[in-house]
Chain A
């Protein structure tokens, strides 16, 4: 009985805060826009009769999903989001791996401090950190002033409100999510494996490539998903740093919901975003599972 409660608790949590909200969103995506509160039809009201139910289900259709295919704005937004998420994941990996490697190589007494420094940005509000990037990247921002002062450029660069700013924002924000799993994989690595590789004829670099790198793959995969999944639906960073130029599905969703007040279309956008994300989430889970098996 105690076992049952223990297992039931997380499922209850998922039911309450994931499945039920998803069913509600899915239902709204099948509804029609209406000038009402809430702004869609049909809705069910007490008492629920058989007739009312029949009428309710008859009114639901996939009209909103068909609508998404008619306007190229939507699929372009999905594609551009995918592109931004993939590229920023790769950049984060390229930046994060050396940092994680450096941390794992550092002396024992330094590691907690380095770990602290990686987590430190989370102590400040995410929104404030993105706003400060606006201050750094804008025409009169610190970066342009610094570059002009050093004489590298003569005119300020347009960085803010371009995709470059979005990449900078995403890489900066999600870097810790990449560093931590890679670091944890590298830290577990037994130093005698590298000595064994050297003993068997590898140079230092070759030993890294043949031993360290493959053994940190699980960390890289985990980190990549932890960056890719939230980056795909990212809204705050593109809307604050990307300007009107950057098309991302999170922004489209926000505009449908708040500017157009079209809840049904916004819900349809959200449902499709979730479907796109399910594949990487399943792959991520499989990677974790494999890692657990290998650790035993």
Chain B
């Protein structure tokens, strides 16, 4: 049975859970958030992605109630949340430092929020046990935070913030303190828990891989503005700007002159180099200065000149980055331009076909590259 695709943002009848309406936040002279509007829907796993200082943490702190917008308003389920203090919001936050109470046991940490709103001891105990089970922490209930490992602490923080069953869970760089392997496992665990509980998650991260893995939609931010909001696949395959193309994954960006021919652009980027072809649904005008973004894995590398390919370039291998499963080749064209190409290492290393200084041909289809205005 085919599952219906989860895409409430595409449905005009769907009401967003959170609405940012022309929100601006200033700290003195510094503008952290600049006239930003954004809708986040219920049950989404929404990622705010950007370099440090881009305003993503400020967005999260405004949702939690620790900061108030200077202008504009934030709506939660249709109500302005500006006058609601953090302790009255149906929003919980998982802190980057976890902020576990060091004087309380794991059990008491998770029960902390529950005890504030209910006196029913049995109900609290049942809910805490449920959370311990969800995060596989049953064995550590009696321990203090300093007696457990970093990964366990991360799970306690998650359990504590989920215990009150918030409408919205905010995660501030939740996996930043974990090592890479554990981080990857935890990403899947987070997605699992998000699906099980049906809570809306908003995650703040500077790690593009993490955002791509967990999120249903990603918002790429820079200097207090949203650059692009889309699904991970769209962000990767159809970046709206050089900034996004460059921020997410590896890319080669060529600058040149494009001319519209039918539904494609003919692209001249350097003298003595053949013209390139790229199909696009976007209209960037009949002709003009434009950019071509090519993902390295879409570029094939071969020893002989390939036939019947719209884009073929000749170059020399300058560098090889061997990453185990794949290798990235830096191929230098005769004009000095470097193009990145990736090949999966399906064969053993000793039988690899290319090495440094080899003359090779690069080729890609006319749908592989993305034409960008800037």
Contact = CB atoms under 8 A, between A and B. Distances in A.
A200 B102 CA distance: 16
Given A193-B99, A211-B101, A296 B86 contact: no
B64 A200 contact: no
A166 B103 CA distance: 37
Nearest to A296: B146
B92 interface: yes
A151 interface: no
A192 B146 contact: no
A73 interface: no
B113 interface: yes
A192 B97 contact: yes
A225 to B, nearest CB: 20
A16 interface: no
Interface string B72-107: 000000000000011110011101110101110000
Contacts of A203: 87
B112 A195 contact: no
Contacts, number: 56
A196 B102 CA distance: 12
A121 interface: no
B6 to A, nearest CB: 28
B101 A193 contact: yes
Interface residues of A, number: 19
A215 interface: yes
Interface in B40-79: 64-66
A296 B113 CA distance: 26
A195 B103 contact: no
Contacts of B120: none
B180 interface: no
A190 B97 contact: yes
Contacts of B87: 198-203
Given A192-B97, A195-B66, A195-B95, A215 B102 contact: yes
A273 interface: no
A196 B95 contact: yes
Nearest to A201: B116
A197 interface: yes
A275 interface: no
Most interface-central of A197, A201, A202, A215 (chain B CB within 10 A): A201
Contacts of B146: 294, 296
Interface string A41-54: 00000000000000
A214 interface: yes
B86 A215 contact: no
B179 to A, nearest CB: 21
Given A195-B66, A195-B86, A200-B164, A190 B116 contact: no
B99 A198 contact: no
A198 B97 contact: no
Nearest to A206: B116
B160 interface: yes
A219 to B, nearest CB: 13
A215 B99 CA distance: 13
Given A294-B146, A296-B146, A199 B64 contact: yes
B117 interface: yes
Contacts of A210: 112
Contact of B112 (A190, A200, A215): A200
A294 B66 CA distance: 29
A207 B125 CA distance: 22
A211 to B, nearest CB: 6
Given A195-B66, A196-B93, A294-B146, A201 B164 contact: yes
Contact of A192 (B65, B95, B103): B95
A101 to B, nearest CB: 17
Given A190-B99, A192-B99, A215-B103, A197 B112 contact: yes
Interface in A161-218: 190, 192-193, 195-203, 206, 210-211, 214-215
Interface of A: 190, 192-193, 195-203, 206, 210-211, 214-215, 294, 296
Given A199-B64, A199-B65, A201-B88, 19 more contacts: A190-B97, A192-B95, A195-B64, A195-B86, A195-B95, A196-B95, A196-B101, A197-B101, A198-B85, A199-B91, A199-B161, A200-B92, A200-B113, A200-B116, A200-B160, A201-B116, A202-B116, A206-B116, A211-B101
17 contacts: A190-B97, A192-B96, A195-B66, A195-B93, A195-B95, A196-B93, A197-B101, A198-B85, A199-B65, A200-B116, A200-B160, A200-B164, A201-B113, A201-B117, A203-B87, A210-B112, A214-B103
